[in-house]
Amino acid sequence: MKAQDHSLSTFDRLTQTFCEWLNHRRELNELRQLSPVEFSRVASDLQVSPADLTELVNQGPHAADELPKLLGALGIDAGDLARVEPMVLHDMERVCALCGQKRECDRDLAAGTSGGRYQQYCQNAPTIAGLDKSAKR
């Protein structure tokens, strides 16, 4: 889930949440209307498997919100990474979106302890370690 804007009223936040849910339901319905061939073509265009695309759509638009926060906590600028290694970032977003450790990650991000703990559960840890090595060259 994304961080809430505290300047919004409770009603506005509920309305925004409902609108996001409704949009997500529409996306799911659109996806179900595609033929298997069309669906596979979309997955291929996005460079993910059809199974991953199904799961990514089910997860919703905020499924990888933790990644830029984690990268920031580690001193890695996601914008710079997107310019220098866009495919690496794309893959990291996919891995993050499909991750089953969201609660632990969110807890560590909120506590400011991600830097010392993410390696224990983050499936992007090897990629992040590779980024550190390539940045030191």
Q: What is the mean pLDDT of each run of 10 residues along the chain (137 residues)?
A: 61 80 80 87 86 83 92 93 93 93 95 94 95 57
Given this model, what pLDDT does residue 116 score? 92
Given this model, what pLDDT does residue 131 score? 87
Q: Kindly report the backbone phi and psi dihedral angles of residue 99, in degrees, each rounded to the nearest multiple of 5, phi listed first.
A: -70, 145
- Structure-token match 């390696």, residue found: 119
Q: Where are the domains of the chain?
A: 1-62, 64-137
Given this model, what pLDDT does residue 137 score? 38
State pTM to two decimals. 0.69
